A and B are shown apart, each in its own frame.
Chain A
Amino acid sequence: RKEVEQDPGPFNVPEGATVAFNCTYSNSASQSFFWYRQDCRKEPKLLMSVYSSGNEDGRFTAQLNRASQYISLLIRDSKLSDSATYLCVVTGGGNKLTFGTGTQLKVEL
């Protein structure tokens, strides 16, 4: 099993739709969880950290489920500009941050 797994997509959704991604992790000792966004040929940029109680930032909501070892990202009212690859990042073995393979989102008119 990979340390951090994501559905690569692509998720093709119409503008205004709600879309959710999940990310599973294998190391039950993981403590840090993040969602990064990466546009084509650009560097990853932090979208949001994921806290145990869940957190929201505008149209974006992140949740952590420690029992099932997954984190989720919900995007409401999708915009064209949300089209990107969303990378899940988790503290892995050896106290390193491990990136998931990313989920590609395409928001269409």
Chain B
Amino acid sequence: DTEVTQTPKHLVMGMTNKKSLKCEQHMGHRAMYWYKQKAKKPPELMFVYSYEKLSINESVPSRFSPECPNSSLLNLHLHALQPEDSALYLCASSPAPAAATNEKLFFGSGTQLSVL
């Protein structure tokens, strides 16, 4: 099993809604990531969890709130988003923190988010 599973695949929400994106991996990976990707742009790092602890927050607005309940799960809680937050949100995992150990990233298929 080499998959990173993300749900939902598509999400439409209003600016007053609260929603959550979910990510799951069962490869025993100890580092998990959230990336944001706009059309025709590269993925931008948002958060890194290393051994279930938040290790990197790329100055992401507080309307995005990550959570790592256990080593297999990563959530991204969304509240009061803006239309410019519409993007593809990608979850990734690696056996250990990738940048420190030359590990590759395994990406989920993403959640396409539209904020109205």
A97 vs B42: C-alpha distance in the bound complex, in angstroms? 12
Of B41, B42, B109, B110, most A-chain CB atoms within 10 Å: B42
Q: Chain A, interface size: which category?
A: 20 to 34
A32 and B102 in contact, given A45-B107, A96-B48 (Cβ under 8 angstroms): yes
Q: Mark B80-102, 1 if CB is under 8 A from A, else 0.
A: 00000000101000000111101
For the complex, give the distance between the alpha carbons of A48 and B104 in Å. Answer: 9
Is A42 in contact with B104, judged by CB distance below 8 angstroms? no
Q: Let me know if B66 is at the binding interface, CB within 8 A.
A: no
Chain B binding surface, main DSSP class? mixed
When C-beta atoms are compared, the residue in chain B nearest to A99 turns out to be B42
Q: In whole angstroms, what is the CA distance A21 to B61 when docked?
A: 35
Residues of A with C-beta under 8 A to B104? 34, 46, 49
Stretch at the interface among A11-19, A61-69, A75-83, A87-95: A87-95
Specify which chain B residues have a CB less than 8 angstroms from the CB of A102 in the assembled complex.
42
Which residue in B90, B105, B106, B109 is a CB contact (below 8 Å) of A97? B105
Q: A87-B42, A101-B41, A102-B42 are in contact. Are A95 and B100 (CB under 8 A)?
A: yes
B45 at the interface (CB under 8 A from A): yes
Q: Among the listed A34, A49, A96, A101, which residue makes an inter-chain contact with B42, where contact means beta carbons less than 8 Å apart?
A: A101
Interface centre among B99, B100, B107, by most chain A C-beta atoms within 10 angstroms, is B99
List the interface of chain A (C-beta within 8 A of B). Answer: 31-32, 34, 36, 41-46, 49, 87, 89, 91-92, 94-102
**What are 8 A-B pairs with beta-carbon distances under 8 A?**
A32-B98, A32-B99, A41-B88, A87-B42, A87-B43, A95-B97, A96-B45, A97-B98
With A32-B102, A95-B99, A102-B42 known, 7 other A-B pairs at CB within 8 A are A32-B99, A36-B105, A43-B90, A46-B104, A46-B105, A89-B105, A97-B98
